[in-house]
Amino acid sequence: MRNTSTYRIPRIGATLLALLLPFSLARATDDKGWQQCIDMQGKATVEHELDCYRQVASTETVTDSLTKPILAARATGLKKEWAPSNATLVTHRHTYVLMYSKASQTNTSPTSPNPQNQVATMVPQDDRDMKFQLSLKHDIADLDRLGSVWAGFTLLSFWQVYDPSHSRPFRENNYEPELIYSINPDKLLGESKFNPSIVNIGVVHQSNGQTNPRSRSWNRVYVQTGIEKEYAGDRRFIAIVRGWQRISESTGNDDNPDIKEYLGHGDLELRYAQGRNWEATLLIKARSVQLDLAAPWTAYRLLALAAPGEHNTNIHLQYFSGYGESLIDYNHKHETWGFGVSFPFE
């Protein structure tokens, strides 16, 4: 005679799996896949029931990984750019690598009004860098019509890769974490032609991670707003204005007490783009201007088999003039031009 007691525990275990597994994977029990497994109770062996649960769980894992990208390109348009995202990371500002960047004048003796931040010994520098910027953000919380909360991080680096005589050092790294509360006024107040596209409120820290006398840093709170307008269907103009207030520091600890005289109290960003084909960005501060041009490399027919519009990389050109290209150069005036590649916008 068959001993049914030896099958009681597996049968109970299968029943518990039927009740608990769907909840553990945040799925309702009336989902088609899970329901099919539940309906097998008493009609199939325990092994077949467990195989069913394993297969559904495996499918769910694959589906979730496919629907939640790790990194998403920056969307075209401010409302889309700041719309809640299920991607783990989203491109924030320009993310690029300038393979070659040349400055008109190097800053061999960085200075500051703070005596502790005077570099007394001249440091020889090449006027050529590999300059790159990595800028990402993450959607921390969605508050429905009340907006969303983001964490952002931007790394800007200047690598003296063309200077083998000094072991190709990193001349400067700037680290910029920030916390941003983003509002879509149309969702919060109701649609109106007078509403801006977005309103962002943020707090940001920026430093170069150095010790004295090369240490440079500051903290700010800011308010940012922008508008966008479409032309001829696929052309878009965007204007983003940001005003900030520096968070004061004690005199002895302030690496750069006069930084506002050079970087001002805000910036203006102007973008003009044609669909996903190209984008021109002009960033204006109190005493500097930076122009970035990005376009798909396929537009230049660098690869005969490439189809126009199908691209993962942009050709990127950049020109900078004025003060504050990097924190160590906040009070150093020069011009820089460079070329390389950048991540595409959506």
- What does DSSP assign to residue 118? -
Q: What is the pLDDT of residue 346?
A: 64
112, burial (CB in 10 Å: exposed 0-12, middle 13-18, buried 19+): buried
Do residue 163 and residue 191 come from a single domain?
A: yes
Give the structural domain span for 27. Answer: 5-67
* Together in a domain, 13 and 130: no
| Listed residues 17, 50, 67: the one ending a domain | 67
One domain for residues 166 and 206: yes
Identify whether residues 222 and 334 lie together within a single domain: yes
List alpha helices for 141-209, DSSP H: 185-189
Question: Tens of pLDDT along 158-191?
Answer: 999 999 999 999 999 999 999 999 999 999 988 8
Q: Report the CATH number at residue 287.
A: 2.40.230.10
Backbone angles phi, psi at 65, to 5 degrees: -70, -30
pLDDT at position 122 is: 87
The model carries a pTM of 0.79
Instruction: Note whether 245 and 314 are same-domain residues.
Output: yes
User: Could you tell me if 14 and 109 lie in one domain?
Assistant: no
Distance in angstroms (rounded) separating the CA atoms of residues 172 and 191:
45
Q: How far is Cα 61 from Cα 150, in angstroms, rounded to an integer?
A: 26
Supply the mean pLDDT for the chain: 84
Domain-ending residue, one of 48, 67, 86: 67
> Does 10 sit behind a cis peptide bond, omega within 30 degrees of 0 on the bond before it?
no
Residue ranges of the chain whose pLDDT lies below 70: 1-35, 40, 42-44, 46, 53, 56-68, 297-311, 346
Tell me the CA end-to-end span of the chain in Å, nearest whole number. Answer: 68
* Nearest one of 277, 342, 341, 274 to 310, comparing CA atoms: 277
Largest CA distance in the chain: 95
Per the CB < 8 A criterion, the answer to whether 183 and 166 are in contact is no
Looking at the structure, do residues 53 and 127 belong to the same domain, yes or no? no
Alpha-carbon span 173 to 208, nearest angstrom: 5
Number of domains in the chain: 2
Structure tokens at 58: 């495996």
Is the same domain home to 202 and 313? yes
| Residues 161 and 16 reside in one and the same domain | no
Place of tokens 């393979």: 99
Indicate if 225 and 328 belong to the same structural domain.
yes
The per-residue pLDDT for range 247-285, each reduced to its tens digit, is: 999 988 999 999 999 999 999 999 999 877 789 999 999
Q: Which helix (H) or strand (E) holds 32?
A: helix 32-39
Q: Are 226 and 78 in contact (CB under 8 A)?
A: yes
Q: Are 99 and 339 in contact (CB under 8 A)?
A: yes
Same domain assignment for residues 33 and 57: yes
Contacting residues for 121 by C-beta, under 8 A, at least 6 apart:
109
What is the distance between the alpha carbons of residues 59 and 40, in angstroms, rounded to a whole number? 18
Which residue carries 């900030």 as its tokens? Answer: 244
pLDDT score for 22:
41
Same domain, yes or no, for 213 and 257? yes
pLDDT at 74 (0 to 100): 83
Final residue before a domain boundary, out of 43, 67, 91: 67
